[in-house]
Amino acid sequence: MFVLYIYDLKAKNKKSFNRTKRLFYYHLNRLPLKKDVWKTKSAFAVETKLEKTMDGFFKRFGKSVIVYKAHIESIELLS
């Protein structure tokens, strides 16, 4: 079972957006995520055991990041 996070960064102006983006990806890269985690530009899925870690990560950014979370069983590529 996985937890799918869909997120969007938001800010009042360009300077604030760039600062939030730098901090977001800096802290995201410091998390104990495996390299094989399913990830796209604005979404990623982690194993259920990392749910609390990811929730805490997103709470750190408050209203600067909009996040949706879904529990899923599998991910399939449709091409």
pLDDT digits (tens, 9 = 90+) for 13-50: 999 999 999 999 999 888 888 776 777 889 988 888 88
Radius of gyration, CA atoms only, the chain: 13
Residue 38 lies in a domain: yes
Residue 79 lies in a domain: no
- For 45, which DSSP code? E
Tell me the pTM: 0.84
All residues at 6 or more sequence positions from 58 whose CB lies less than 8 Å from its CB, including other chains: 5, 7, 65, 67
Task: Pull the structure tokens for residue 66.
Answer: 């909009």
In sequence order, the β-bridge partners of residue 44 are 5, 39
Residue 61 lies in a domain: yes
Q: Tell me, what CATH number does 31's domain have?
A: 3.30.70
Residue 35 lies in a domain: yes
Of residues 76, 73, 78, 69, the one with CA closest to residue 7:
69
Task: Quote the number of domains for the chain.
Answer: 1
